């Protein structure tokens, strides 16, 4: 197909998009641990929810395990990294009991939610956690407190059905990667039912989740298709698909790689929205753009709301190791 025959396409590229500071830090921790200690470096669960990232780290010498007992005896001097989603208190306790050297890559904003939940508990409040059952972050947050100290609420219907033992002594926190709008509805219903419900000291939904949702809201109206780059087990990526549809995109898709694009299904479009969840690398965003350029006379315009300058330091043990552009080019381009 020659260029003249290609139909025109405007790509609204959202900014901010892709890696947040917490995800960037977690990947850097694994890369730096490999540089410092050599392979293998073990990682408990996916470091972040992205198959490209996991496979890229595996190629560098990372070994992903579900539980610490999978680490062979002969490798117990090697580091084990805990994922960005956070872990229950029992996990570092288990690592210490096994004499393992661990590096905690929990996002500092997830750690902040842990501290807020523990503060509610310390002040005698039963903790209400708004989040999705089974998500690693939810498991990690609930695992900071004794069993029975936390009640999980997923929906407004859950909030309606919830019957606490002491309705006047509740405090809530939320999973960091939820839809701002959906969470607001659940919190409003809980406040209606329990007027003395205590909010956390600071908003639990992280800045990156909020920022990515806000720019998708602005870019979505008039889009024939809105593509979110992300994994099907990424909560914040799935929320972006929903946000795009609610904000006016005619269709929205979650895509992990350009190879997943079904061109017959996409059909003729003139305006494409494009963003990426907080675990999705920029190289895949570029891959998607190039796939559309191969079939359309595509122009890219930046739809930007704010610029993110947050940076989280890696673990103290790794701060003297140089991290070069080449070390991260496989994800950042």
Residue 206 counted as an annotated binding residue: yes
Residue 107 counted as an annotated binding residue: yes
137 included as an active-site residue: yes
By the 10 Å C-beta count (0-12 exposed, 13-18 middle, 19+ buried), 5 is classed as exposed
- What residues contact 282, with CB distance under 8 A and at least 6 apart? 18, 19, 276, 331, 332, 333
From 67, 73, 137, 282, the catalytic residue: 137
Residue 235 counted as an annotated binding residue: yes
Residue 20 counted as an annotated binding residue: yes
Question: Using only C-alpha atoms, what is the Rg of the chain?
Answer: 21
- What residues contact 13, with CB distance under 8 A and at least 6 apart? 274, 275, 285, 289, 300, 301, 302, 303
Residue 210 counted as an annotated binding residue: no
Both structure tokens of 319: 């701060």
Q: What is the rounded end-to-end Cα distance, in angstroms, of the chain?
A: 28
Round to whole Å and give the CA distance between 300 and 61: 37
Round to whole Å and give the CA distance between 87 and 65: 14
| SS3 (DSSP) at 25 | helix
Residue 279 counted as an annotated binding residue: yes
Residue 223 counted as an annotated binding residue: no
List the beta bridge partners of residue 229: 255, 276
Residue 111 counted as an annotated binding residue: no
Residue 234 counted as an annotated binding residue: yes
Binding positions for dimethylallyl diphosphate: 49, 85, 135, 234-236, 279
Binding positions: 20, 49, 85, 107, 135, 176, 206, 234-236, 279
Binding positions for [4Fe-4S] cluster: 20, 107, 206
Catalytic residue ranges: 137
Binding positions for isopentenyl diphosphate: 49, 85, 135, 234-236, 279
């Amino acid at each position: 197909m020659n260029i003249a025959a290609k139909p025109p396409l405007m790509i609204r590229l959202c900014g901010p998009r892709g890696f947040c500071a917490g995800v960037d830090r977690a990947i850097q921790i694994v890369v730096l641990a490999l540089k410092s200690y050599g392979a293998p470096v073990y990682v408990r669960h996916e470091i972040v929810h992205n198959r490209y990232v996991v496979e890229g780290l595996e190629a560098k010498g990372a070994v992903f395990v579900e539980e610490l007992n999978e680490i062979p005896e002969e490798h117990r001097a090697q580091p084990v990294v805990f994922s960005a989603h956070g872990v229950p208190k029992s996990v570092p306790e288990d690592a210490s009991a096994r004499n393992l050297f661990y590096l905690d890559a929990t996002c500092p904003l997830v750690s902040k939610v842990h501290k807020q939940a523990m503060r509610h508990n310390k002040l005698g409040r039963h903790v209400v956690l708004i989040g999705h059952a089974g998500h690693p972050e939810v498991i990690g947050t609930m695992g900071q407190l004794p069993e029975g100290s936390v009640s999980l609420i997923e929906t407004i219907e859950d909030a309606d059905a919830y019957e606490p033992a002491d309705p006047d002594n509740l405090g809530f926190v939320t999973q960091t990667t939820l839809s701002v709008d959906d969470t607001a509805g659940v919190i409003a219903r809980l406040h209606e039912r329990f007027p003395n419900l205590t909010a956390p000291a600071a908003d639990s939904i992280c800045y990156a989740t909020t920022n990515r949702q806000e720019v998708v809201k602005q870019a979505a109206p008039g889009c024939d298709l809105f593509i979110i780059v992300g994994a099907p087990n990424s909560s914040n990526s799935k929320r972006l698909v929903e946000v795009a549809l609610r904000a006016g995109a005619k269709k929205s898709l979650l895509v992990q790689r350009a190879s997943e694009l079904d061109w017959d299904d996409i059909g003729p479009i003139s305006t494409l929205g494009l963003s990426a969840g907080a675990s999705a690398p920029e190289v895949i965003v570029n891959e998607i753009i190039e796939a559309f350029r191969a079939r359309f006379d595509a122009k890219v315009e930046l739809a930007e709301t704010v610029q993110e300058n947050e940076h989280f330091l890696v673990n103290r043990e790794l701060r003297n190791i140089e991290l070069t552009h080449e070390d991260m080019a496989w994800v950042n381009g």
